[in-house]
């Protein structure tokens, strides 16, 4: 029996759960092999989780608990629109 199915990235699946999750893990994508990403993928499954790929890749991901530095523009935005600590939730645009 063939049934229609869809694929999502782990990032898109955050906050969702599915009865069955198939997760591909490969050394070719070593940059993305982080413990938190694998954890997120595993916790999306309600009944069955299947990892397909290279066991070494899973091992590398489990060992890598680093979370990359975030590059947001929050500090720049705050310096332009208001300063932290100037009243609760108050910015220049609110005045």
Q: Which domains does the chain have, with CATH numbers?
A: 10-84 (3.40.50.300)
Which residues are 50's β-sheet partners? 22
Residues 6+ apart with CB under 8 A from 29: 57
Tokens 């969702």 identify what position?
Answer: 16
The model's pLDDT over 5-53, given as tens digits with 9 standing for 90+, comes to: 788 888 888 889 999 999 999 999 888 888 888 889 999 999 999 999 9
Reported as a pLDDT band with limits 50, 70 and 90, residue 89 is low
pTM above 0.85, yes or no: no
CA nearest neighbour of 18 among 5, 28, 36, 31: 5
């Amino acid at each position: 029996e063939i049934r229609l199915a869809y694929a999502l990235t782990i990032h898109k699946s955050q906050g969702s759960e599915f009865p069955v999750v198939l997760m591909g893990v490969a050394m070719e994508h070593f940059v993305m092999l982080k413990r938190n990403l694998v954890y997120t993928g595993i916790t999306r499954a309600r009944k069955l989780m299947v990892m397909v790929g290279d066991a070494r890749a899973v091992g590398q991901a489990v060992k890598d608990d680093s979370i990359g530095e975030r590059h947001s523009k929050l500090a720049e935005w705050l310096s332009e629109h208001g300063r932290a600590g100037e009243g609760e939730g108050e910015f220049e645009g609110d005045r």
